[in-house]
Amino acid sequence: MNFTMPKRENGLKTNPALRLLYWGLVIAGIWFAYLNIQPYERAVSFLGAKATSSAFISLVASIPLLNGIAAIFSKSLSWILGAILWSVIQIIEILPLILYNNEKFIEKIVTEADGRSRYQEKDTDDPTLRILKRTYNHLPISVVSNLEVLKIFTYTVDFLITSSNSLQQSTFISQQSNSHSTELATTNTSSSVHNPTHIIDIVQEIASPIRNCIIFGIGGSGKGMLLANALRRIKAENPNRKIFYIDPKNEPSEYGYTECVVDVVRRKKCKDESPENICKWMDEVLDGTNEEIGYIEWANNQSESLLVIDEGSTLGDAAKKCRNERIGTLILHISSLGGSSKENVWLLAQSPYVGPLGLNLSATSQITAVAIISDKNTNVLKQWKKSPILEMIDLVQINTLIKASPCNRAVFFGGNSTWGAMPELPNYSALDRDNDKPT
């Protein structure tokens, strides 16, 4: 009778717990590297924005498809260079520690320094020869000394990069926390159900610090009042921030929104204009004419700027019919590449559907959505419910927030996907649209 011995499996089976631990350590290592490299990536992006020609960036940004490729390439390159910079700094910081604990290295330096010959410096020596002799005579001790100096310099650079990044993050978090925790006890309201903790200080949210925003709401919702107050907050906190305002409505009663607060205004009543004329006017606004400077050239001459585009829905309809995506391309360019150079953009529109401008808001996290709804137009929620950039809530909750608002409005802030009650804001226009009478 033949007996067949069972075959023994070659190798050892991997313990699932060890495998899980291994991948956990790998993921933790990647996350640790990401957190360490991130400040250097931001530093590289900042320096790159300063070194790159704004005119060249604007040219690339105006070319469809190429602008997206350029943005991806720019971001990838900044991460690669940031990783290299971080690696070099880490090596320089730990190299002296490694070398000083290496007995053979120390012995070699001491033996070389003690046993090498010295050149005598003479008065008749050429200045260059004298420097060379002095350098040679200080070797190899000077290498160690210079390494110490380089280490101190590297630690200083490392500290400045990481601390500036931490300061920016802590400032932003502090501003966010203060804006949500502050109870606006001084708000004037006669509403019996008003609760100050429901109110969002939306002016501070979009203006301190300045965010790239799309602000939408139907006519009379309060976009202009929010814009007027936010622009004044910006100018009060930073007078150096220059503002370029594009107004396709040209309503004299609304001039007060931007009067004495914006630096450049371009207006045209586009209501009855053909799409071709609207797009031609927009090209002139961007490129300039013989009489007026265009936005692109103007922005290149500013250290800090904000572009405000009103009536984005009107421009979007014209751009779609003319297949002109310049405005959308410019907005995406500013929002994706302009942050480090302190260039921002605000777009005001009737609805969140700005696809005709060439914008896909669900595909970018660089543009913050702000929506305003008044007690007179809550029906727009049905039209907006399919928008991917809104955190939708039911009509009962909206009405609760509207009643909690001293101006009977609810506002959505995309920075933290929160609906809240809108605070009462000063009206700088010549018209009270709620009561349809002059102010």
Q: How confident is the model at residue 170 (pLDDT cuts 50, 70, 90)?
A: low
What integer pLDDT is reported at residue 191 of this predicted model?
31
Read off the pLDDT of each residue in 209-233 and give the average, rounded to a whole number.
92
**pTM exceeding the 0.85 threshold for the entire prediction:** no
Read off the pLDDT of each residue in 213-219 and give the average, rounded to a whole number.
90
Average pLDDT value over all residues in the chain:
79
pLDDT > 90 fraction of the chain, expressed in percent and rounded: 29
Predicted confidence (pLDDT) per residue in 235-268, tens digit = 999 999 999 999 999 999 899 999 999 999 999 9
Hey, CA dihedral for 165, 168, 171, 174, is it positive or negative?
Answer: negative
Pairing of the two strands 437-438 and 343-349? unpaired
Q: Is the pLDDT of residue 147 over 50?
A: yes
Read off the pLDDT of each residue in 137-147 and give the average, rounded to a whole number.
76
Range of lowest pLDDT (193-202, 249-258, 300-309): 193-202
Q: Is the pLDDT of residue 176 over 50?
A: no
Q: Is the pLDDT of residue 290 over 60?
A: yes
Q: Is the pLDDT of residue 54 over 60?
A: no
What integer pLDDT is reported at residue 347 of this predicted model?
93
Read off the pLDDT of each residue in 166-173 and give the average, rounded to a whole number.
51
Residue 165: exposure state from Cβ atoms within 10 A (0-12, 13-18, ≥19)? middle
Read off the pLDDT of each residue in 395-418 and give the average, rounded to a whole number.
90
Q: Is the pLDDT of residue 193 over 90?
A: no
Pairing of the two strands 418-421 and 409-413? antiparallel
Report which of 337, 304, 335, 164 is spatially closest to residue 237, judged by C-alpha positions: 304
What integer pLDDT is reported at residue 108 of this predicted model?
80
Hey, CA dihedral for 345, 350, 352, 357, is it positive or negative?
Answer: negative
pLDDT > 70 fraction of the chain, expressed in percent and rounded: 79
Q: Is the pLDDT of residue 180 over 60?
A: no
Phi/psi at 284 (5° precision): -65, -35
What integer pLDDT is reported at residue 264 of this predicted model?
95
Greater confidence (111 vs 275) lies with 275
Partner residues linked to 215 by β-bridges: 348, 370
Write the DSSP symbol of residue 121: P
Question: What SS3 class is residue 305?
Answer: strand
Q: Which helix (H) or strand (E) holds 372?
A: strand 368-374
Cα(146)–Cα(150) distance, rounded to whole angstroms?
6
Predicted confidence (pLDDT) per residue in 85-126, tens digit = 888 888 888 888 888 788 887 788 778 777 777 788 887 888
Q: Is the pLDDT of residue 285 over 50?
A: yes
Phi/psi at 241 (5° precision): -75, 115
Q: Is the pLDDT of residue 314 over 80?
A: yes
Read off the pLDDT of each residue in 28-56 and give the average, rounded to a whole number.
75
